[in-house]
Structure 1
Amino acid sequence: MSSEIAVSIKDLSYTHAPPGGRPLASATPALRDLNCTIAKGSILLLVGGNGAGKSTLLYLLAGKRMLQQGDVRVFGKDVFKDYPDNLVYLGTEWAMNAGVKRDIVVSDFLNSVGGHRHQERRNHLLDILDVDLDWHMHAISDGERRRVQLVMGLMGKWDLLLLDEVTVDLDVLVRHELLLFLKEETVKRGATIVYATHIFDGLNDFPTHISHMRDGSFVLNPSPWPLDLSYFSPNGTQTPTLHSIALKWLSDDRRLRIKEEKEGKRKQSRGARDALGTPIPRDGKTFFHNYDYSH
């Protein structure tokens, strides 16, 4: 791994525009005061529950939103004003787009986006992702369409790859082969990857760094993986798996949220509500009493 910095984030905060033309200050920030650097050649895994801010962070790193507060640099460039041509972002929305579900043959589709310029890498990815060039885009499954997206996005020589849940549709074999390819890209070419996922099986040997996000902040800033054993317990002898760590972190996040709701530090916005929209207490006896029409 190089000492060169691929990504630099300083004092980054971001708030999505609230509906109805309400002022920005009335909305809850999606990201709060993020600070970190990501070294060239590293693979950073973002761990956090739904709504933790992972996708928003990746969108900003990809230059898809104008910064409101703070500074983001990719290889020293402002990604919004001076988008680097060696950056690739792959998110879940592409395969759902009606435009890519038309009756077009995969070979023609890939050629239309420059596949002929990257023949060697394109052919390597076609084998890894088990893609049939004779497929018709409108007649294949979501998982197969996702494979085509990955061939399209990865066939050029990227230096920073931002992945947002794009392996969710892949079968276990194709996902395994893809991860091996991506790891090889970071080792041989010094490419950098930031990856947000909720599937942790088979990932123990993939990342070089992991982080924990909650409510738009880093609970754990990007840290070398495996984590130091002292992080878990003074007498620890074996690093837990990524799956067990993610499960613990997300369970802790939910317990903290419920505790803050009970203490009035935040509004209870999840779970069951009555006809007036008032949250129903979470204990089972009270909950079922509200729906017992025999009394």
Structure 2
Amino acid sequence: MNVVHIANLSYHHNTAGAGTTPALVNISLSLPKGSRTILVGANGAGKSTLLQILAGKRLTPAAAAVHLKGRDVFRDSPDGVTFLGTEWAMNPVVRGDIVVSHFLDSVGGYRHKARRDRLLDILDVDLDWHMHEISDGERRRVQLVMGLMSPWDVLLLDEVTVDLDVLVRSDLLAFLKEESDTRGATIVYATHIFDGLNNFPTHLAHMRFGSMVGDPVEWKSDPTAPLSASLYTLALQWLAEDREFRRELEKKGRKTRGARADDTPSDSEVFYKKYDYGH
């Protein structure tokens, strides 16, 4: 059974802007129950937009099929779907003077005590922390406890492990892998940190400029394989190919990135005369 099913999905951030570049272009993706898929792609490839759509946070065109557990994610939202993204830590509410234990109880932690307590140990969270006094990494740990303590069927992760130290991240990934193996939970995870991930995914999906580069590929790590066969090395290869692909498009007229050979003066006196807005 494919828990994740997307077909014919194209998406513009600014639907009113004629001629705007689409964020997603004709995406099709199917992932089986219990899979753990890593989304690989450069910044701006569309990974976050895709996860937000899967989470039902953005309305898609009626012609597109975006289903989780056989249901339309926006118009017939399925239960058991958890989305964790980076914007949570910027919310003023979670930066207020509130004790972590009170905060978790306010979102139902007392109803999932066993899972909550296990996650508190895995993520090394102090229940007496005050949310406004802790670091971004510690605040991220609280977010993960909050988001994972209620059992989920589909987990959508958007860069939420970036603030974690390597030990906590390793323990968290082991927990998520166990959830997938024992409960058949499905995970889609966008990240730019590939160290320590070799044994985690079952599938890899490559995104480039809002499109999928082929179908997801199955991933089976080989502990005896050389470094050249690692997930990190494969991701590096894909990203290098993406950059070369973009540079070929730039030669054909696509807007270029990087330094420009313009007429900006390097002499300070000439520069300040040019940008003297007082006259």
TM-score calculated relative to the size of structure 2? 0.90
2: CA distance between counterparts of 1:86 and 1:219? Answer: 29
C-alpha distance in 1, partners of 2:190/2:248? 27
Displacement of 1:24 in angstroms is: 3.3
Measured after TM superposition, the shift of residue 263 of structure 1 is: 2.0
Provide Cα deviations, 1:116-143, integer angstroms capped at 9, x if missing partner. 0000000000000000000000000000
**1:230-241 to 2 correspondences below 5 Å:** 240-241=229-230
What per-residue deviation string (whole Å, max 9, x for no partner) do you get for residues 218-245 of structure 1? 11321100399xxxxxxx9986211111
- In 2, the alpha carbon distance for the partners of 1:12 and 1:214 equals 15
Query: Does structure 2 conserve the Cα–Cα contact (< 8 Å) formed by 1:142 and 1:169?
Result: yes
Q: How does 1:51-130 map to 2 (within 5 A)?
A: 51-68=44-61, 69-130=63-124
What SS does the corresponding residue of 1:24 show, helix, strand or coil? coil
Distance 1:227 1:182 in 2: 17
**Alignment pair present for 1:271 and 2:258:** yes
Which residue matches 1:13?
A: 10
CA distance in 2, matches of 1:259, 1:185: 43
Q: CA deviation at 1:81?
A: 1.4
Partner residue of 1:169 out of 163, 166, 171? 163
Cα deviation code 1:191-230 (max 9, x no counterpart): 00000000000000000000110000011321100399xx
For residues 237 and 84 of structure 1, do their structure 2 counterparts lie closer, same or farther at Cα, with a shift above 3 Å needed? same
Letter in 1 for 2:179: E
Structure 2 counterpart SS, 1:32: strand
Say yes or no: does 1:153 pair with 2:153: no
For normalisation by structure 1, the TM-score amounts to 0.85
User: Residue 293 of structure 1: CA displacement?
Assistant: 4.0
Please show how residues 102-251 of structure 1 align to structure 2 within 5 Å: 102-226=96-220, 240-251=229-240
Report the Cα offset of residue 259 of structure 1: 1.9
1:49 deviates by: 0.3
CA distance in 2, matches of 1:267, 1:14: 21
Q: Partner of 1:276 in structure 2?
A: none
Instruction: Figure out how many residues of one structure are paired with residues of the other and give that number.
Output: 266
Alpha-carbon distance change, 262 to 290 in structure 1, aligned in 2, over 3 angstroms? farther
Q: Any conservation in 1 of the 2:198–2:221 contact (CA below 8 Å)?
A: no
CA offsets per residue over residues 221-275 of structure 1, 9 Å max, x none?
21100399xxxxxxx99862111111111111112212211222x222x223xxx
Sort the Cα spacing of 1:259 and 1:290 in 2 relative to 1 into closer, same or farther, 3 A.
farther
Match of 1:262 in 2: 251
Deviation at 1:37, TM superposition (A): 0.8
**Amino acid across the alignment from 1:149:** Q
Aligned equivalents of 1:196, 1:243: Cα separation in 2: 14
Deviation for aligned residue 1:290 = 6.1
Shift of 1:25: 3.1
Unmatched 5+ stretches in structure 2: 269-279
The one-letter amino acid of 1:12's match is L
Mapped contact 1:13–1:31 kept (Cα < 8 A): yes
What residue is the counterpart of 1:47 in the other structure? 40
Deviation at 1:46, TM superposition (A): 0.2
**CA contact under 8 A between 1:30 and 1:56: conserved in structure 2?**
yes
Conserved? CA contact 1:227–1:239, under 8 Å: no
**Alpha-carbon shift at residue 84 of structure 1 (Å):** 1.6
SS at match of 1:117: helix
* Distance (whole Å) between structure 1 residues aligned to residue 139 and residue 158 of structure 2: 16
Q: Secondary structure at the match of 1:25?
A: coil
